[in-house]
Structure 1
Amino acid sequence: MFNDALRVGIYIPTRKLSCDEINYLIKQEEVSSLALERFLSAEISWNDYLDILEVCNVDIDDYLETSDQNFASIM
C-alpha cells in the first residue's frame, strides 16, 4: 500500500529519444525504486530518500503533493 502511494513515475517524453536519454531514464527509475525499497525497509531515512529523488531530478514539491493525494485516496 505505501509502496504504491510513494512510487515515483518517471516522465517519458513522446518525442524520439536517443539511447543515452533512454538509459538515463532507466537509471532514474532504477535508482528511485531502489531508494523506495530502502526507505520502506528502514535502511535509509525519509530525508535521505528525498535527497536521492532530488538527484534523480524529481520535483520534490510535486512528488510530495502527489504522494499526499495518493495517501488520501487509499485511506
Structure 2
Amino acid sequence: MKRFALFVGWDHIAGKGWLDLSGRFTSKSDAEKALREGRFTYGKPDWWHIVDLETDMIVAASDATLVI
C-alpha cells in the first residue's frame, strides 16, 4: 500500500516551525484534503510538500523554487 507524507512549515517560527505527518495518507489527494481542511496551531502554513514514501519523491509542493 502506498504511503504519503505531508510536511508543512511556517517561516516565522525558527527551528520548530514544521510538522511531519509521515505515512498517514494512502493517496496524494488524501494529503491534499488534509492540507485544505487542516487546523494548524500556527495558522495556514507558509509552505508544504507531499512526499511519496515509496519513491522518496516530492509529488506536490507549495513553491516552484524547491531544491531537492
Structure whose residues are more often helix by fraction: 1
Q: If the length of structure 2 is used for normalisation, what is the TM-score?
A: 0.34
Larger-gyration structure (1/2): 1
Q: If the length of structure 1 is used for normalisation, what is the TM-score?
A: 0.32
